[in-house]
Amino acid sequence: MTLLIKDFSTGYDNKIIIKNINFELKDSEWVGIIGANGSGKSTLLKGILKFNPIIQGDIFLNSRNTKSFSRKNLSQKIAYLPQKINNNLNITVKELVTLGRSPYKSFWEFNMNEKDMKIINEAIEILDLENLKNNYINELSGGQCQRAFLAMTLSQNPEILLLDEPTTFLDINYQLKFLELINKLIKIKKLSVITVLHDINLACRFCDRLAIFKEGNLIDIDKPKKVLSKDNLYKAFEIDSYIVETPLGFQIFPVSKK
């Protein structure tokens, strides 16, 4: 599924944060969003989801304007994993994953049919949670909890996945594993993905393209090697940088601006 963002502005209380953005997320593509704190990265995701109002412009899913979608219908197409997740829930992993079927149910429906259970069990299997499905969320490690919530979003059976800083509270081992899981999901489920990431080096290693933001403006969007120029890094983060080629691609070494 393609997502076309055209002349799009959004924000809070009619205050524009994201300003006149244009870009397209292609089928099975992974776009990473980077930028300094306060640059509007999370606001952009919430605007796509209609959590924040569309102040100007349009968003299209396969050429259909999202203004015509109800919140429930949009949740059947786009799943969202926010920055902060509640890891103190007193419910099991399987119960959490089951909540992902909510967009397909009326508010009084609690029973899962055969199709629901197939999708739920598949999400648990793909995220390697079979041996944890009866554990409570508040008993899990950070990495396990993140996988459980990702399985919940997967059980929505979405075509697009929005992830807001999903690796922030994970150690480097789990950061790599989590991003490798996203790669796996793109291949298995043909998902299109937008991910807000703070680690620029991980972003350029995993994402097909990067969009770099500054104060609500899209500075550039392209292949990582083109976007992560010294000029763009200076504009977005007010840093100088060294760019070094490695066997795994190029790496950015930031230094204080001169």
| Per-residue pLDDT tens digits for 192-213 | 999 999 999 999 999 999 999 9
Question: Please, are residues 228 and 221 in contact by the beta-carbon 8 Å criterion?
Answer: no
Tell me the CA distances in angstroms from 166 to 56, 103, 186, 245, 258, one per residue in order. 28, 22, 16, 26, 32
Mind listing the pLDDT tens digit of every residue in the chain (258 residues)? 899 999 999 998 879 999 999 999 999 999 999 999 999 999 999 999 999 999 999 999 999 999 999 989 999 999 999 988 888 889 999 999 999 999 998 876 678 899 999 999 999 999 999 999 999 999 999 889 999 999 999 999 999 999 999 988 788 888 999 999 999 999 999 999 999 999 999 999 999 999 999 999 999 999 999 999 999 999 999 999 999 988 888 889 999 876
For residue 60, list its beta bridge partners. 4, 65
Q: What is the pLDDT of residue 25?
A: 97
Q: What is the pLDDT of residue 139?
A: 94
Task: Give the domain 28-50+70-256 fold.
Answer: Rossmann fold (3.40.50)
Residues 165 and 82: their CA atoms lie apart, in Å, by 8
Q: What is the pLDDT of residue 153?
A: 95
The region, left, alpha or beta by phi > 0 then psi within -120 to 50, assigned to residue 238 is left
Q: What is the pLDDT of residue 50?
A: 93
* CA 40 from centre of chain: 14
Residues 222 and 210: their CA atoms lie apart, in Å, by 6
Q: Is 28 exposed, middle or buried (0-12, 13-18, 19+ CB in 10 A)?
A: middle
Share of the chain above pLDDT 90, in %: 81
For 255, the 3-state DSSP assignment is strand
Find the angle CA(236)-CA(150)-CA(42) to the nearest 5 degrees: 25
> Can you give the residue ranges of every domain in the chain?
28-50+70-256
For 222, the 3-state DSSP assignment is strand
Q: What is the pLDDT of residue 171?
A: 87
